Structure 1
Protein backbone atom coordinates (compact mmCIF):
# COMPACT_ATOMS: atom_id res chain seq x y z
CA UNK A 1 0.00 0.00 0.00
CA UNK A 2 1.07 3.56 -0.71
CA UNK A 3 1.21 6.31 1.88
CA UNK A 4 -0.68 9.59 1.45
CA UNK A 5 2.43 11.42 0.20
CA UNK A 6 3.25 8.60 -2.24
CA UNK A 7 -0.35 8.55 -3.53
CA UNK A 8 -0.39 12.32 -4.10
CA UNK A 9 2.94 12.22 -5.97
CA UNK A 10 1.80 9.25 -8.04
CA UNK A 11 -1.40 11.11 -9.03
CA UNK A 12 0.73 14.10 -9.97
CA UNK A 13 3.05 11.91 -12.08
CA UNK A 14 0.10 10.19 -13.79
CA UNK A 15 -1.77 13.42 -14.57
CA UNK A 16 1.45 15.00 -15.87
CA UNK A 17 2.12 12.02 -18.12
CA UNK A 18 -1.46 12.12 -19.48
CA UNK A 19 -1.03 15.82 -20.29
CA UNK A 20 2.31 15.02 -21.95
CA UNK A 21 0.71 12.33 -24.13
CA UNK A 22 -2.10 14.73 -25.09
CA UNK A 23 0.40 17.49 -25.92
CA UNK A 24 2.49 15.20 -28.12
CA UNK A 25 -0.66 13.75 -29.70
CA UNK A 26 -1.72 17.30 -30.61
CA UNK A 27 1.70 17.97 -32.23
CA UNK A 28 1.36 14.69 -34.14
CA UNK A 29 -2.18 15.52 -35.28
CA UNK A 30 -1.30 19.08 -36.34
CA UNK A 31 1.77 17.98 -38.33
CA UNK A 32 -0.06 15.13 -40.02
CA UNK A 33 -2.68 17.65 -41.23
CA UNK A 34 0.10 19.99 -42.44
CA UNK A 35 1.76 17.11 -44.29
CA UNK A 36 -1.52 16.27 -46.05
CA UNK A 37 -2.37 19.87 -46.96
CA UNK A 38 1.15 20.93 -47.91
CA UNK A 39 4.27 19.28 -49.24
CA UNK A 40 6.21 16.99 -46.91
CA UNK A 41 9.08 18.88 -45.24
CA UNK A 42 11.99 18.11 -42.93
CA UNK A 43 10.39 20.07 -40.09
CA UNK A 44 7.15 18.09 -40.44
CA UNK A 45 9.09 14.81 -40.36
CA UNK A 46 11.04 15.86 -37.25
CA UNK A 47 7.96 17.06 -35.33
CA UNK A 48 6.01 13.91 -36.24
CA UNK A 49 8.81 11.53 -35.26
CA UNK A 50 9.53 13.48 -32.08
CA UNK A 51 5.88 13.34 -30.97
CA UNK A 52 5.59 9.58 -31.63
CA UNK A 53 8.83 8.77 -29.79
CA UNK A 54 7.93 10.95 -26.80
CA UNK A 55 4.52 9.31 -26.46
CA UNK A 56 6.30 5.93 -26.39
CA UNK A 57 8.87 7.18 -23.84
CA UNK A 58 6.15 8.52 -21.51
CA UNK A 59 4.17 5.26 -21.73
CA UNK A 60 7.29 3.19 -20.98
CA UNK A 61 8.31 5.34 -18.00
CA UNK A 62 4.84 5.32 -16.41
CA UNK A 63 4.03 1.65 -17.09
CA UNK A 64 7.44 0.53 -15.82
CA UNK A 65 6.98 2.74 -12.75
CA UNK A 66 3.57 1.24 -11.96
CA UNK A 67 4.99 -2.27 -12.32
CA UNK A 68 7.86 -1.44 -9.97
CA UNK A 69 5.40 -0.07 -7.40
CA UNK A 70 2.62 -2.68 -7.55
CA UNK A 71 4.15 -5.77 -9.22
CA UNK A 72 7.87 -5.84 -8.39
CA UNK A 73 7.99 -9.62 -8.98
CA UNK A 74 7.20 -9.02 -12.68
CA UNK A 75 9.99 -6.45 -12.95
CA UNK A 76 12.39 -8.90 -11.36
CA UNK A 77 11.93 -11.37 -14.23
CA UNK A 78 14.66 -11.51 -16.84
CA UNK A 79 12.21 -11.38 -19.77
CA UNK A 80 10.63 -8.12 -18.57
CA UNK A 81 13.96 -6.44 -17.89
CA UNK A 82 15.43 -7.42 -21.28
CA UNK A 83 12.38 -6.25 -23.26
CA UNK A 84 12.11 -2.95 -21.35
CA UNK A 85 15.85 -2.28 -21.69
CA UNK A 86 15.91 -2.72 -25.48
CA UNK A 87 12.66 -0.85 -26.13
CA UNK A 88 13.81 1.92 -23.80
CA UNK A 89 17.14 2.36 -25.59
CA UNK A 90 15.48 2.44 -29.03
CA UNK A 91 12.71 4.91 -28.15
CA UNK A 92 14.69 7.16 -25.81
CA UNK A 93 17.72 7.48 -28.10
CA UNK A 94 15.46 8.10 -31.10
CA UNK A 95 13.51 10.76 -29.18
CA UNK A 96 16.70 12.60 -28.26
CA UNK A 97 17.95 12.24 -31.85
CA UNK A 98 14.78 13.94 -33.13
CA UNK A 99 15.15 16.65 -30.46
CA UNK A 100 18.76 17.31 -31.46
CA UNK A 101 17.81 17.34 -35.16
CA UNK A 102 15.11 19.91 -34.41
CA UNK A 103 17.60 22.10 -32.53
CA UNK A 104 20.04 21.89 -35.42
CA UNK A 105 17.26 22.63 -37.92
CA UNK A 106 16.27 25.76 -35.98
CA UNK A 107 19.91 26.84 -35.75
CA UNK A 108 20.56 26.50 -39.49
CA UNK A 109 17.33 28.32 -40.37
CA UNK A 110 17.64 31.22 -37.91
CA UNK A 111 21.31 31.85 -37.10
CA UNK A 112 23.15 34.52 -39.04
CA UNK A 113 26.81 33.76 -39.83
CA UNK A 114 28.90 34.84 -42.78
CA UNK A 115 31.42 31.99 -42.53
CA UNK A 116 31.62 29.63 -45.51
CA UNK A 117 31.34 26.53 -43.26
CA UNK A 118 27.94 27.73 -42.02
CA UNK A 119 26.71 28.26 -45.60
CA UNK A 120 28.03 24.83 -46.53
CA UNK A 121 26.13 23.24 -43.64
CA UNK A 122 22.99 25.19 -44.51
CA UNK A 123 23.08 23.97 -48.11
CA UNK A 124 23.67 20.37 -47.05
CA UNK A 125 21.08 20.11 -44.29
CA UNK A 126 19.83 16.72 -45.58
CA UNK A 127 23.38 15.33 -45.41
CA UNK A 128 23.70 16.51 -41.81
CA UNK A 129 20.53 14.65 -40.81
CA UNK A 130 21.80 11.50 -42.54
CA UNK A 131 25.04 11.86 -40.56
CA UNK A 132 23.07 12.23 -37.31
CA UNK A 133 21.02 9.18 -38.27
CA UNK A 134 24.28 7.24 -38.63
CA UNK A 135 25.26 8.47 -35.15
CA UNK A 136 21.92 7.13 -33.85
CA UNK A 137 22.67 3.67 -35.25
CA UNK A 138 26.17 3.84 -33.70
CA UNK A 139 24.63 4.72 -30.31
CA UNK A 140 22.36 1.66 -30.59
CA UNK A 141 25.32 -0.55 -31.57
CA UNK A 142 27.15 0.63 -28.42
CA UNK A 143 24.13 0.27 -26.11
CA UNK A 144 22.88 -3.16 -27.22
CA UNK A 145 26.10 -5.09 -26.40
CA UNK A 146 26.26 -3.24 -23.09
CA UNK A 147 22.72 -4.39 -22.22
CA UNK A 148 23.60 -7.97 -23.16
CA UNK A 149 26.75 -7.83 -21.00
CA UNK A 150 24.83 -6.49 -17.99
CA UNK A 151 22.20 -9.25 -18.27
CA UNK A 152 24.84 -11.96 -18.67
CA UNK A 153 26.47 -10.78 -15.44
CA UNK A 154 23.13 -10.59 -13.61
CA UNK A 155 22.05 -14.08 -14.75
CA UNK A 156 24.91 -15.53 -12.72
CA UNK A 157 23.23 -14.24 -9.57
CA UNK A 158 20.23 -15.84 -7.89
CA UNK A 159 17.89 -12.84 -8.23
CA UNK A 160 17.77 -9.28 -9.51
CA UNK A 161 19.47 -7.48 -6.65
CA UNK A 162 21.82 -4.52 -6.79
CA UNK A 163 25.19 -6.32 -6.82
CA UNK A 164 27.05 -3.79 -8.89
CA UNK A 165 29.42 -1.42 -7.18
CA UNK A 166 28.46 2.26 -7.30
CA UNK A 167 31.30 3.21 -9.67
CA UNK A 168 30.57 0.21 -11.92
CA UNK A 169 26.89 1.15 -12.08
CA UNK A 170 27.74 4.72 -13.13
CA UNK A 171 30.15 3.46 -15.82
CA UNK A 172 27.48 1.10 -17.21
CA UNK A 173 24.93 3.90 -17.19
CA UNK A 174 27.32 6.18 -19.13
CA UNK A 175 28.10 3.47 -21.70
CA UNK A 176 24.40 2.80 -22.25
CA UNK A 177 23.85 6.48 -23.02
CA UNK A 178 27.12 7.23 -24.80
CA UNK A 179 25.36 8.10 -28.05
CA UNK A 180 22.94 10.37 -26.18
CA UNK A 181 25.92 12.23 -24.68
CA UNK A 182 27.07 13.03 -28.23
CA UNK A 183 23.61 14.43 -29.11
CA UNK A 184 23.66 16.40 -25.86
CA UNK A 185 27.02 17.95 -26.79
CA UNK A 186 25.66 18.86 -30.25
CA UNK A 187 22.74 20.63 -28.54
CA UNK A 188 25.12 22.58 -26.25
CA UNK A 189 27.35 23.64 -29.19
CA UNK A 190 24.26 24.66 -31.19
CA UNK A 191 22.97 26.73 -28.27
CA UNK A 192 26.37 28.39 -27.81
CA UNK A 193 26.61 29.30 -31.52
CA UNK A 194 23.07 30.67 -31.45
CA UNK A 195 24.02 32.92 -28.52
CA UNK A 196 26.96 34.23 -30.56
CA UNK A 197 24.64 34.79 -33.55
CA UNK A 198 22.17 36.71 -31.36
CA UNK A 199 24.96 38.84 -29.88
CA UNK A 200 26.29 39.74 -33.35
CA UNK A 201 22.79 40.50 -34.59
CA UNK A 202 22.08 42.80 -31.62
CA UNK A 203 25.35 44.68 -32.24
CA UNK A 204 24.34 45.29 -35.86
CA UNK A 205 20.86 46.39 -34.81
CA UNK A 206 22.28 48.91 -32.31
CA UNK A 207 24.17 50.58 -35.15
CA UNK A 208 21.16 50.95 -37.43
CA UNK A 209 17.99 50.62 -35.33
CA UNK A 210 17.63 51.82 -31.76
CA UNK A 211 13.90 52.43 -31.27
CA UNK A 212 12.17 49.12 -31.99
CA UNK A 213 12.97 45.50 -31.51
CA UNK A 214 13.95 43.45 -34.53
CA UNK A 215 11.70 40.55 -35.53
CA UNK A 216 14.81 38.43 -36.07
CA UNK A 217 15.85 39.13 -32.47
CA UNK A 218 12.49 37.84 -31.19
CA UNK A 219 12.87 34.67 -33.27
CA UNK A 220 16.41 34.21 -31.90
CA UNK A 221 15.13 34.55 -28.33
CA UNK A 222 12.31 32.03 -28.92
CA UNK A 223 14.69 29.44 -30.34
CA UNK A 224 17.15 30.12 -27.50
CA UNK A 225 14.40 29.31 -24.99
CA UNK A 226 13.62 26.05 -26.82
CA UNK A 227 17.30 25.02 -26.90
CA UNK A 228 18.06 25.94 -23.27
CA UNK A 229 14.88 24.20 -22.03
CA UNK A 230 15.86 21.10 -24.07
CA UNK A 231 19.29 20.96 -22.40
CA UNK A 232 17.98 21.55 -18.86
CA UNK A 233 15.07 19.10 -19.17
CA UNK A 234 17.31 16.44 -20.75
CA UNK A 235 19.69 16.67 -17.77
CA UNK A 236 16.73 16.35 -15.38
CA UNK A 237 15.43 13.41 -17.46
CA UNK A 238 18.55 11.33 -16.89
CA UNK A 239 18.76 12.38 -13.23
CA UNK A 240 15.17 11.15 -12.79
CA UNK A 241 15.96 7.82 -14.49
CA UNK A 242 19.01 7.40 -12.24
CA UNK A 243 16.95 8.16 -9.11
CA UNK A 244 14.22 5.76 -10.20
CA UNK A 245 16.67 2.93 -10.92
CA UNK A 246 18.66 3.35 -7.71
CA UNK A 247 15.53 3.67 -5.54
CA UNK A 248 14.14 0.39 -6.91
CA UNK A 249 17.30 -1.73 -7.10
CA UNK A 250 19.18 -0.56 -4.03
CA UNK A 251 17.12 1.49 -1.60
CA UNK A 252 13.60 0.09 -2.30
CA UNK A 253 12.13 3.51 -1.54
CA UNK A 254 8.72 4.05 -3.19
CA UNK A 255 8.61 7.78 -2.49
CA UNK A 256 12.01 8.27 -4.15
CA UNK A 257 10.92 6.07 -7.06
CA UNK A 258 7.80 8.19 -7.71
CA UNK A 259 9.89 11.36 -7.44
CA UNK A 260 12.23 9.91 -10.06
CA UNK A 261 9.21 9.19 -12.29
CA UNK A 262 8.08 12.82 -12.07
CA UNK A 263 11.54 14.18 -12.87
CA UNK A 264 12.06 11.70 -15.75
CA UNK A 265 8.69 12.60 -17.33
CA UNK A 266 9.39 16.33 -17.30
CA UNK A 267 11.52 16.20 -20.48
CA UNK A 268 9.07 14.45 -22.86
CA UNK A 269 6.06 16.27 -21.35
CA UNK A 270 7.14 19.87 -20.66
CA UNK A 271 9.37 20.34 -23.71
CA UNK A 272 6.50 19.45 -26.03
CA UNK A 273 4.37 22.28 -24.60
CA UNK A 274 7.36 24.63 -24.93
CA UNK A 275 7.54 23.68 -28.63
CA UNK A 276 3.82 24.38 -29.03
CA UNK A 277 4.16 27.84 -27.47
CA UNK A 278 7.31 28.65 -29.48
CA UNK A 279 5.91 27.53 -32.84
CA UNK A 280 3.40 30.03 -34.26
CA UNK A 281 1.52 27.44 -36.35
CA UNK A 282 1.12 25.01 -33.43
CA UNK A 283 0.15 27.86 -31.11
CA UNK A 284 -2.56 29.06 -33.50
CA UNK A 285 -3.79 25.50 -33.96
CA UNK A 286 -4.13 24.87 -30.22
CA UNK A 287 -5.88 28.23 -29.70
CA UNK A 288 -8.27 27.33 -32.50
CA UNK A 289 -8.93 23.92 -30.91
CA UNK A 290 -9.60 25.53 -27.50
CA UNK A 291 -12.04 28.00 -29.09
CA UNK A 292 -13.90 25.12 -30.75
CA UNK A 293 -14.14 23.31 -27.41
CA UNK A 294 -15.55 26.46 -25.77
CA UNK A 295 -18.14 26.84 -28.54
CA UNK A 296 -19.21 23.20 -28.15
CA UNK A 297 -19.56 23.64 -24.38
CA UNK A 298 -21.71 26.74 -24.90
CA UNK A 299 -23.93 24.86 -27.38
CA UNK A 300 -24.38 22.00 -24.89
CA UNK A 301 -25.23 24.45 -22.10
CA UNK A 302 -27.85 26.14 -24.30
CA UNK A 303 -29.40 22.77 -25.16
CA UNK A 304 -29.53 21.76 -21.48
CA UNK A 305 -31.27 25.02 -20.46
CA UNK A 306 -33.86 24.54 -23.21
Structure 2
Protein backbone atom coordinates (compact mmCIF):
# COMPACT_ATOMS: atom_id res chain seq x y z
CA UNK A 1 0.00 0.00 0.00
CA UNK A 2 1.40 3.37 -1.05
CA UNK A 3 1.52 6.21 1.44
CA UNK A 4 0.59 9.83 0.66
CA UNK A 5 4.28 10.77 0.44
CA UNK A 6 4.92 7.91 -2.04
CA UNK A 7 1.97 9.12 -4.12
CA UNK A 8 3.34 12.68 -4.20
CA UNK A 9 6.78 11.46 -5.30
CA UNK A 10 5.26 9.28 -8.03
CA UNK A 11 3.15 12.19 -9.30
CA UNK A 12 6.25 14.45 -9.40
CA UNK A 13 8.32 11.81 -11.24
CA UNK A 14 5.57 11.17 -13.82
CA UNK A 15 5.13 14.96 -14.34
CA UNK A 16 8.90 15.37 -14.83
CA UNK A 17 8.94 12.47 -17.30
CA UNK A 18 6.05 13.87 -19.37
CA UNK A 19 7.72 17.31 -19.49
CA UNK A 20 11.02 15.69 -20.44
CA UNK A 21 9.52 13.70 -23.31
CA UNK A 22 7.61 16.78 -24.58
CA UNK A 23 10.62 19.12 -24.31
CA UNK A 24 13.15 16.78 -25.88
CA UNK A 25 10.61 15.60 -28.47
CA UNK A 26 10.04 19.23 -29.48
CA UNK A 27 13.81 19.81 -29.87
CA UNK A 28 14.20 16.68 -31.99
CA UNK A 29 11.16 17.47 -34.16
CA UNK A 30 12.18 21.08 -34.87
CA UNK A 31 15.73 20.09 -35.82
CA UNK A 32 14.54 17.22 -38.04
CA UNK A 33 12.14 19.59 -39.87
CA UNK A 34 14.93 22.17 -40.32
CA UNK A 35 17.22 19.44 -41.65
CA UNK A 36 14.60 18.35 -44.23
CA UNK A 37 13.75 21.93 -45.29
CA UNK A 38 17.25 23.30 -45.48
CA UNK A 39 20.38 21.20 -45.05
CA UNK A 40 22.32 19.22 -42.49
CA UNK A 41 23.72 21.33 -39.66
CA UNK A 42 26.17 20.28 -36.98
CA UNK A 43 24.24 21.89 -34.11
CA UNK A 44 21.03 20.27 -35.39
CA UNK A 45 22.69 16.84 -35.41
CA UNK A 46 23.99 17.27 -31.84
CA UNK A 47 20.67 18.59 -30.49
CA UNK A 48 18.65 15.84 -32.21
CA UNK A 49 20.96 13.12 -30.91
CA UNK A 50 20.85 14.65 -27.42
CA UNK A 51 17.03 14.86 -27.48
CA UNK A 52 16.56 11.25 -28.65
CA UNK A 53 19.05 9.88 -26.12
CA UNK A 54 17.38 11.82 -23.29
CA UNK A 55 13.90 10.57 -24.23
CA UNK A 56 15.24 7.00 -24.12
CA UNK A 57 17.00 7.79 -20.83
CA UNK A 58 13.77 9.05 -19.24
CA UNK A 59 11.80 5.97 -20.32
CA UNK A 60 14.58 3.67 -19.10
CA UNK A 61 14.83 5.44 -15.73
CA UNK A 62 11.07 5.27 -15.16
CA UNK A 63 10.72 1.63 -16.30
CA UNK A 64 13.70 0.45 -14.26
CA UNK A 65 12.83 2.30 -11.04
CA UNK A 66 9.09 1.61 -11.07
CA UNK A 67 9.66 -2.11 -11.72
CA UNK A 68 12.17 -2.06 -8.87
CA UNK A 69 9.51 -0.62 -6.55
CA UNK A 70 6.33 -2.39 -7.68
CA UNK A 71 7.65 -5.72 -9.06
CA UNK A 72 10.92 -6.49 -7.23
CA UNK A 73 10.51 -10.27 -7.62
CA UNK A 74 10.28 -10.08 -11.42
CA UNK A 75 12.98 -7.40 -11.52
CA UNK A 76 15.60 -9.48 -9.65
CA UNK A 77 14.61 -13.05 -10.52
CA UNK A 78 15.13 -12.81 -14.29
CA UNK A 79 17.68 -11.50 -16.77
CA UNK A 80 15.79 -8.20 -16.90
CA UNK A 81 18.23 -6.36 -14.65
CA UNK A 82 21.12 -7.47 -16.89
CA UNK A 83 19.40 -6.25 -20.08
CA UNK A 84 18.49 -2.94 -18.45
CA UNK A 85 22.09 -2.47 -17.31
CA UNK A 86 23.43 -2.87 -20.85
CA UNK A 87 20.81 -0.51 -22.27
CA UNK A 88 21.59 1.89 -19.44
CA UNK A 89 25.29 1.98 -20.40
CA UNK A 90 24.52 2.73 -24.05
CA UNK A 91 21.83 5.37 -23.48
CA UNK A 92 23.34 7.09 -20.43
CA UNK A 93 26.78 7.48 -21.99
CA UNK A 94 25.29 8.56 -25.34
CA UNK A 95 23.29 11.29 -23.58
CA UNK A 96 26.31 12.55 -21.64
CA UNK A 97 28.62 12.56 -24.66
CA UNK A 98 26.09 14.40 -26.85
CA UNK A 99 25.81 17.04 -24.09
CA UNK A 100 29.62 17.24 -23.89
CA UNK A 101 29.87 17.72 -27.66
CA UNK A 102 27.30 20.52 -27.39
CA UNK A 103 29.50 22.18 -24.76
CA UNK A 104 32.57 21.82 -27.00
CA UNK A 105 30.62 23.22 -29.97
CA UNK A 106 29.52 26.32 -28.02
CA UNK A 107 33.06 26.81 -26.74
CA UNK A 108 34.75 26.56 -30.16
CA UNK A 109 32.07 28.66 -31.87
CA UNK A 110 31.90 31.52 -29.35
CA UNK A 111 35.17 31.68 -27.38
CA UNK A 112 38.01 33.84 -28.66
CA UNK A 113 41.61 32.79 -28.01
CA UNK A 114 44.76 33.38 -30.05
CA UNK A 115 46.23 30.08 -28.86
CA UNK A 116 47.48 27.83 -31.68
CA UNK A 117 45.81 24.70 -30.28
CA UNK A 118 42.45 26.51 -29.93
CA UNK A 119 42.65 27.86 -33.51
CA UNK A 120 43.53 24.37 -34.77
CA UNK A 121 40.53 22.88 -32.95
CA UNK A 122 38.25 25.71 -34.13
CA UNK A 123 39.16 25.02 -37.76
CA UNK A 124 38.14 21.39 -37.24
CA UNK A 125 34.78 22.03 -35.56
CA UNK A 126 32.96 20.00 -38.23
CA UNK A 127 34.75 16.87 -36.98
CA UNK A 128 32.85 16.91 -33.70
CA UNK A 129 30.53 14.01 -34.80
CA UNK A 130 33.59 11.84 -35.50
CA UNK A 131 34.99 12.84 -32.10
CA UNK A 132 31.66 11.91 -30.50
CA UNK A 133 31.55 8.46 -32.09
CA UNK A 134 35.18 7.78 -31.20
CA UNK A 135 34.72 8.80 -27.55
CA UNK A 136 31.49 6.79 -27.29
CA UNK A 137 33.15 3.63 -28.62
CA UNK A 138 36.13 4.01 -26.26
CA UNK A 139 33.78 4.68 -23.33
CA UNK A 140 31.73 1.56 -24.14
CA UNK A 141 34.91 -0.52 -24.51
CA UNK A 142 35.89 0.50 -20.97
CA UNK A 143 32.45 0.01 -19.42
CA UNK A 144 31.05 -3.14 -21.04
CA UNK A 145 33.80 -5.60 -19.93
CA UNK A 146 33.41 -4.51 -16.28
CA UNK A 147 29.62 -4.85 -16.48
CA UNK A 148 29.83 -8.30 -18.11
CA UNK A 149 32.35 -9.41 -15.45
CA UNK A 150 30.08 -8.17 -12.66
CA UNK A 151 27.14 -10.28 -13.92
CA UNK A 152 29.36 -13.34 -14.54
CA UNK A 153 30.73 -13.16 -10.99
CA UNK A 154 27.19 -12.86 -9.65
CA UNK A 155 26.03 -15.93 -11.62
CA UNK A 156 29.06 -17.98 -10.50
CA UNK A 157 28.32 -17.17 -6.88
CA UNK A 158 24.65 -18.24 -7.40
CA UNK A 159 23.64 -15.19 -5.38
CA UNK A 160 19.95 -14.72 -4.68
CA UNK A 161 20.04 -10.93 -4.30
CA UNK A 162 21.84 -7.93 -5.68
CA UNK A 163 22.80 -6.23 -2.43
CA UNK A 164 26.38 -5.04 -2.23
CA UNK A 165 28.58 -7.29 -0.09
CA UNK A 166 31.94 -5.90 -1.24
CA UNK A 167 34.17 -3.51 0.63
CA UNK A 168 33.78 0.23 0.12
CA UNK A 169 37.21 0.60 -1.51
CA UNK A 170 36.54 -2.27 -3.96
CA UNK A 171 33.11 -0.88 -4.79
CA UNK A 172 34.57 2.62 -5.36
CA UNK A 173 37.25 1.25 -7.74
CA UNK A 174 34.63 -0.70 -9.70
CA UNK A 175 32.41 2.36 -10.06
CA UNK A 176 35.33 4.54 -11.23
CA UNK A 177 36.34 1.98 -13.87
CA UNK A 178 32.72 1.56 -14.95
CA UNK A 179 32.17 5.32 -15.31
CA UNK A 180 35.58 6.33 -16.62
CA UNK A 181 34.11 7.67 -19.87
CA UNK A 182 31.43 9.62 -17.98
CA UNK A 183 34.04 11.18 -15.66
CA UNK A 184 36.19 12.20 -18.64
CA UNK A 185 33.23 13.74 -20.51
CA UNK A 186 32.13 15.69 -17.42
CA UNK A 187 35.71 16.96 -16.98
CA UNK A 188 35.68 18.16 -20.60
CA UNK A 189 32.39 20.02 -20.06
CA UNK A 190 33.72 21.63 -16.88
CA UNK A 191 36.93 22.67 -18.68
CA UNK A 192 35.05 24.25 -21.61
CA UNK A 193 32.83 26.16 -19.16
CA UNK A 194 35.85 27.55 -17.27
CA UNK A 195 37.58 28.52 -20.53
CA UNK A 196 34.42 30.22 -21.78
CA UNK A 197 34.27 32.27 -18.56
CA UNK A 198 37.92 33.28 -19.09
CA UNK A 199 37.12 34.23 -22.70
CA UNK A 200 34.19 36.39 -21.55
CA UNK A 201 36.31 38.07 -18.88
CA UNK A 202 39.05 38.88 -21.42
CA UNK A 203 36.49 40.17 -23.91
CA UNK A 204 34.84 42.44 -21.34
CA UNK A 205 38.24 43.75 -20.28
CA UNK A 206 39.10 44.56 -23.89
CA UNK A 207 35.77 46.36 -24.33
CA UNK A 208 36.48 48.48 -21.23
CA UNK A 209 39.94 49.39 -22.53
CA UNK A 210 38.34 50.47 -25.79
CA UNK A 211 35.88 52.60 -23.76
CA UNK A 212 32.88 50.69 -25.10
CA UNK A 213 30.14 50.66 -22.49
CA UNK A 214 27.44 48.62 -24.25
CA UNK A 215 27.23 44.85 -24.56
CA UNK A 216 27.99 43.68 -28.10
CA UNK A 217 26.82 40.56 -29.92
CA UNK A 218 29.88 38.57 -28.84
CA UNK A 219 29.21 39.31 -25.17
CA UNK A 220 25.56 38.25 -25.51
CA UNK A 221 26.64 35.00 -27.20
CA UNK A 222 29.13 34.34 -24.38
CA UNK A 223 26.46 34.90 -21.71
CA UNK A 224 23.88 32.65 -23.45
CA UNK A 225 26.40 29.84 -23.91
CA UNK A 226 27.55 30.16 -20.31
CA UNK A 227 23.97 29.85 -19.03
CA UNK A 228 23.53 26.61 -21.00
CA UNK A 229 26.89 25.18 -19.88
CA UNK A 230 26.61 26.17 -16.21
CA UNK A 231 23.04 24.82 -16.01
CA UNK A 232 24.23 21.57 -17.64
CA UNK A 233 27.02 21.16 -15.06
CA UNK A 234 24.73 21.92 -12.08
CA UNK A 235 21.98 19.58 -13.35
CA UNK A 236 24.55 16.87 -14.16
CA UNK A 237 25.82 17.01 -10.57
CA UNK A 238 22.22 16.65 -9.32
CA UNK A 239 21.73 13.76 -11.75
CA UNK A 240 24.81 11.93 -10.45
CA UNK A 241 23.70 12.62 -6.86
CA UNK A 242 20.30 11.09 -7.69
CA UNK A 243 21.93 8.00 -9.23
CA UNK A 244 24.19 7.59 -6.16
CA UNK A 245 21.12 7.83 -3.89
CA UNK A 246 19.37 5.16 -5.97
CA UNK A 247 22.43 2.88 -5.79
CA UNK A 248 22.51 3.40 -2.01
CA UNK A 249 18.96 1.99 -1.90
CA UNK A 250 20.42 -1.47 -2.66
CA UNK A 251 22.16 -1.36 0.73
CA UNK A 252 19.06 -0.17 2.59
CA UNK A 253 16.07 -1.56 0.60
CA UNK A 254 13.63 -0.87 3.43
CA UNK A 255 13.92 2.90 2.87
CA UNK A 256 11.66 3.26 -0.19
CA UNK A 257 11.52 7.05 0.17
CA UNK A 258 15.27 7.16 -0.45
CA UNK A 259 14.74 5.56 -3.87
CA UNK A 260 11.82 7.87 -4.70
CA UNK A 261 13.89 10.94 -3.81
CA UNK A 262 16.75 9.63 -5.96
CA UNK A 263 14.44 9.11 -8.96
CA UNK A 264 12.99 12.63 -8.61
CA UNK A 265 16.50 14.14 -8.49
CA UNK A 266 17.91 12.12 -11.41
CA UNK A 267 14.95 12.76 -13.76
CA UNK A 268 15.31 16.51 -13.09
CA UNK A 269 18.37 16.67 -15.38
CA UNK A 270 17.01 15.33 -18.71
CA UNK A 271 13.75 17.32 -18.64
CA UNK A 272 14.79 20.72 -17.22
CA UNK A 273 17.91 21.10 -19.37
CA UNK A 274 15.81 20.58 -22.50
CA UNK A 275 13.75 23.69 -21.68
CA UNK A 276 16.95 25.65 -20.94
CA UNK A 277 18.19 24.67 -24.41
CA UNK A 278 14.90 25.81 -25.99
CA UNK A 279 15.09 29.20 -24.25
CA UNK A 280 18.80 29.58 -25.06
CA UNK A 281 18.49 28.77 -28.78
CA UNK A 282 16.85 31.49 -30.91
CA UNK A 283 15.43 29.06 -33.51
CA UNK A 284 13.97 26.73 -30.89
CA UNK A 285 12.58 29.68 -28.92
CA UNK A 286 10.86 31.15 -31.99
CA UNK A 287 9.47 27.72 -32.90
CA UNK A 288 8.09 27.26 -29.37
CA UNK A 289 6.44 30.70 -29.47
CA UNK A 290 4.82 29.85 -32.83
CA UNK A 291 3.60 26.54 -31.40
CA UNK A 292 2.08 28.31 -28.37
CA UNK A 293 0.35 30.84 -30.65
CA UNK A 294 -1.13 28.03 -32.72
CA UNK A 295 -2.39 26.31 -29.55
CA UNK A 296 -4.05 29.57 -28.45
CA UNK A 297 -5.69 29.93 -31.87
CA UNK A 298 -6.97 26.34 -31.70
CA UNK A 299 -8.46 26.99 -28.25
CA UNK A 300 -10.19 30.16 -29.49
CA UNK A 301 -11.65 28.27 -32.47
CA UNK A 302 -12.98 25.51 -30.18
CA UNK A 303 -14.60 28.13 -27.92
CA UNK A 304 -16.23 29.86 -30.90
CA UNK A 305 -17.56 26.53 -32.18
CA UNK A 306 -18.89 25.68 -28.72
CA UNK A 307 -20.78 28.99 -28.50
**Which TM bucket (shorter chain)?**
over 0.9
Q: Kindly provide the CA deviation profile for residues 150-181 of structure 1, in whole angstroms up to 9, marking residues without a partner as x.
A: 11222214312312333333322222211011
Q: 1:284 to 1:127 in 2, by over 3 A?
A: closer
Structure 1 counterpart of 2:249, from 235, 247, 263: 247
* d(CA) in 1 for partners of 2:271, 2:170: 31
Query: Any conservation in 2 of the 1:240–1:262 contact (CA below 8 Å)?
Result: yes
Matches within 5 A, 1:51-200: 51-155=51-155, 156-162=157-163, 163-200=165-202
How far has the Cα of 1:290 moved from its partner?
Answer: 0.5
| CA deviation after TM superposition for structure 1 residue 215, in Å | 2.0
Deviation per CA, 1:253-279: give whole Å up to 9, x if none.
211111110111111111111100100
**1:269 corresponding residue in structure 2:** 271
TM-score by length of 2: 0.96
Whole-Å Cα distance in 2 between the matches of residues 165 and 7 of structure 1? 35
Q: Residue 25 of structure 2 aligns with which residue?
A: 25
Task: Show the counterpart of 2:238.
Answer: 236
Change (3 A) 1:203 1:177: same
More moved, 211-220 vs 29-38: 211-220
Change (3 A) 1:249 1:112: same
Deviations 1:110-165 (A, max 9, x none): 01112222111111123354234212111101111111111122221431231233
CA distance in 1, matches of 2:128, 2:17: 32
**Residue 12 of structure 2: aligned partner:** 12
Q: Secondary structure at the match of 1:182?
A: helix
Unaligned runs of 5+ in 2: none
Tell me, yes or no, if structure 1 residue 50 matches structure 2 residue 50: yes
CA contact (8 A) 2:243 2:262 kept: yes
Q: CA offset at residue 246 of structure 1?
A: 1.8
Shift of 1:230: 1.1
Contact 1:248 / 1:254 at 8 angstroms: preserved in 2?
no
Residue pairs, 1:275-294, within 5 angstroms: 275-294=277-296
**Number of equivalences:** 305
> RMSD value over aligned CA atoms?
1.4
Q: Any idea what the Cα deviations from partners look like across 1:218-243, whole Å, max 9, x if unmatched?
A: 11011011111111111211111121
Q: Structure 1 unaligned runs (5+)?
A: none
Range with greater deviation from structure 2 (26-35 or 164-173) = 164-173
Q: Is the 8 A contact 2:98 2:132 kept in 1?
A: no
